Every structure is written in structure tokens, then in C-alpha cells.
Structure 1
Amino acid sequence: MATDESALRGTRDRLLADWHALLVRVRGGEEEPAPGPYGEDLIARWSEPQRHYHDVGHLLAVLDRVDELAPHTPGADADTARLAAWFHDAVYRPDRSENEERSARLALRALLEAGVGRARTEEVVRLVRLTVTHDPEPGDDDGELLCDADLAVLAGPPARYAEYAAAVRREYAFVPEERFRAGRAGVLRQLLGLPRLFRTTYAQERWENAARRNLTTELGLLESQTEGDGRS
């Protein structure tokens, strides 16, 4: 337990330092208003007890993927995508459908108050709303960067993907098993039906095949469980 708490504290410390540097950078070096309270509020939101996947670990993973993708997406504004990553699930209740919209409104209010320019703030708001569909238009470099970073978990090694799927199930523990399986299978089929899961060339080349294998495996397990229930 002590090790887990130490690791979590280290993650939060790193996130807070990264937030401070990001906010100062997008304000052109301006240190005021103090970045700390805004970062602490966001980290507290990402640490809420109902989160098992959409937590500080997910936030850190998305930010790391933005860092990885940014050099290969030269048309994107990486810092704007980073701000959007901080806010894209800042409001998260698994029993609600308006999480992205509420997160976007939080971004609008908080970033303007924190001294971020209107144009960049509005782009962040747009990007947060885009995570409802993860379907950026061709040429939307900022949207492609953020959406690919957010979906990168789909391409993890099989064991890591299984941990992700289990964490999602825990977030929806209030949903009966049969209904959850039907809903999750629908999501997986929708993803597998897309021409491309990833939009950047870098992500397509490195993650597309692995993500499709993971999604197909999970869907097969859900379908076999449903068929087993039908035979019992």
C-alpha cells in the first residue's frame, strides 16, 4: 500500500510540475495568476473515487502520448492539445452522458480565468468536445493529435489492454452484467467499423493493427460469454 501511495504521489507531483510549466508557457512566460491552484483542482477531479480508468494514470498516459506524437504531427499545436488532454475528462461521472460538455465548459471558465488567450481557450474547448466522437475532420491536426493520444490505450500489449477493459468494467459496476456486455460490444463494433482508428500516420503505422486485435479479442470474449448464458 505504501508503495502504491508513493507512486501516486509521484504521479501527482509530476503532473503538477508539468501543468505549471505548460500554463506559464502558453501565457508567454507569465507567472500570474499562480498556476498551482488550477492544477491542484484538476488533479483532485482526476482523483475522484468513481474513476478506475479515467484517473490520473490515464491523464498522464495521454500527455505522454501527445509528447510522443507531437514531433510527427508538425501541423498541430502540441501545447493546445496538452491543455485539452488535461480537461477532456476533467468532469467524469460514468452514469452521466454530458461529461465532455461539462468538461468543455470547465475548460472555458478555468482557462480564461487563468490568463490563457481567448483563441487558444476556444480551441481547447473544441478539442474537448471532439472526444465525444474521436472523429476529427481531415486536416484537423490538433484534433488528430489529441484523439490518437486518447485512443492509444487500445493498442497496448494484451495484458495491459485487459487491465484497461477491467478498469472500464469497474467504472460501470452499477450496470448489470448482461446490459454492460451488450453496450460494450456495441462500442467495440462501432470502433472496429471505422475505416481507421488512428488518424496520424505515426499512430496508424504503429498502433492500428494491435488495437484492432485487442478490440476483436475483447468482442469475441463478450460474445462467447453471452452465448454461454444463452445455453445455460
Structure 2
Amino acid sequence: MEWSEAITELGGEPGAWPRLEARYAEPHRRYHTLAHAAAVARDSAWLAEDLGDAERAIVAVAAWTHDVVYDAKPGEDERASAAWARAALAGVAEAHVERVEGLILATIGHDAPPGDLLATALLDADLAVLGAPEAQYADYARGVREEYAKYPDDVWREGRIAVLERMLARELYRSEPARTRWASAAERNLTTELTHWRGGRTDHR
């Protein structure tokens, strides 16, 4: 669902779009761009297709805004994005605003109650890139590394290894459609990247 359609469905004004575009066009971004937000909006719409109109609009707004503030500061970025979304939703019912905020904040730990279908759609869509074709996944991994360029290779390597190990130790996708579509490829991609970073260790752990 497009931004203007989603905002209108919730009773708001879509005038924040130019500011949203400007945020996603910031020069330090490599992966967390408007293309990523659009992909999450597209995939979450597919996963939320059986929900009501207002629920699908809430998921869409959360998808478009979940990385609108991105400075490679995990936790801080999501909280700032939630605050940005609140400001952009002037005129929207408070219950809907709170729901959007909660969905964005759920992306901090990628966790939510099992029965939360809106969070399931957003969180699974946000991880869809993990199950992308090999070349697309490589572009994602390279882009994220460039966004964290302030960290030297050895620090990045150990942090990335820990992230990859955590992802491989859990079930990545909450919904059956997402698991069917992305899980196998995601496991291959993550394992390949993990092998790469482990191979770069100098202490041969």
C-alpha cells in the first residue's frame, strides 16, 4: 500500500512524504534507503492481505517509516523513527498512532506476541532480504557494512558474527507464508556470510 493511500485510510494528510523521501535519501545510507522501505511496504502488504483496511494501512505506515531515522545506532534509530511517525500522523486517531509506534519499536528486537498479525507482517517483511537471491543478499550485506564504516574490520567482524549466529539460532520468520518463501534461502545466505567472517579471524577461533 502506498504512503498516500495508507495515510488517507487512517484519516491523516499525506503531506509528510517529501520529508520522508529526504530522510531516506541521506548520503550515508547504503541499504536503509527508500528502496528498502518500499520493499518492506510491498512484502508486508502481501503478508497482511487478509487483514482489514485500517490494519493494512497501519502496517503500511509502519513499513514506510520504520527506518526513516537511521544513523547506525540500534535502538535509538527505531525510537527516533517512531517519534517521527507520530509527528507525521497529525489528525490520525491516537489508537492508530500508538499502533504504528509499537510496530516500529518491535523492530528493535524483532519480537512481538505470537498472535500479533500486524507485527508478524512487518517483521517478516523486514527480514525478507535475508532470503533474497545470492547477489541481492551480497548487496545488502555490503551496504550494511558501509553504513557501519566507522567500525574497523576486526570490531565489525566480531559483531557481525554474533548477529549472524543469533539469527541462525532462531526461527527467523513468524508466519508460514514467509517461512515457505524465504527461510531456506535465508539460512544459506546467513551461513555463507558467517563462514566468510569466521574465515577472516586471525586467531582461528
TM-score (norm 1): 0.82
Return the offset for 1:218: 0.4
1:10 aligned residue: none
Q: Tell me whether 1:102 sits opposite 2:96 in the alignment.
A: no
Alignment of 1:61-210 (within 5 A): 61-71=39-49, 73-74=50-51, 77-95=55-73, 97-111=75-89, 113=90, 115-194=91-170, 196-210=171-185
What code does the residue aligned with 2:82 have?
Answer: A
Return the offset for 1:95: 4.6
Secondary structure at 2:151 match in 1: coil
Q: Tell me whether 1:20 sits opposite 2:4 in the alignment.
A: yes
Q: Using the alignment, how far apart are the partners of 2:24 and 2:144 within structure 1? A: 15
**For residues 75-121 of structure 1, what are the alpha-carbon distances to aligned partners after superposition, in whole Å with 9 as ceiling and x for unaligned?**
7922111111121111110156411111111222221x2x2111111
Q: Tell me whether 1:221 sits opposite 2:199 in the alignment.
A: no
- Change beyond 3 A, Cα 1:151–1:69: same
Larger Rg: 1
Number of residue-to-residue matches in the alignment = 203
Runs of 4+ in 1 over 6 A off after TM superposition: none
2:25 aligned residue: 47
What code does the residue aligned with 1:89 have?
Answer: D
Structure with greater contact order relative to length (CA < 8 Å, sep ≥ 6): 2
Q: Using the alignment, how far apart are the partners of 1:150 and 1:95 within structure 2? A: 17
- Change beyond 3 A, Cα 1:97–1:138: closer
Secondary structure at 1:77 match in 2: helix
What code does the residue aligned with 1:214 have?
Answer: N
Identity percentage of aligned residues: 41
Secondary structure at 2:48 match in 1: helix
Q: Using the alignment, how far apart are the partners of 2:195 and 2:70 within structure 1? A: 28
Considering only aligned residues, what root-mean-square deviation do their CA atoms show, in Å?
A: 1.8
Secondary structure at 2:31 match in 1: coil
Q: Using the alignment, how far apart are the partners of 1:67 and 1:100 within structure 2? A: 21
TM-score (norm 2): 0.93
Return the offset for 1:67: 2.2
- Change beyond 3 A, Cα 1:97–1:74: closer
Q: Using the alignment, how far apart are the partners of 2:94 and 2:73 within structure 1? A: 32
Secondary structure at 1:206 match in 2: helix
Which sections of structure 2, spanning at least 5 residues, go unmatched?
Answer: none
Is the 2:74–2:108 contact (alpha carbons within 8 Å) kept by the matching residues of 1?
A: no
Larger fraction in helix: 1
Return the offset for 1:70: 2.0
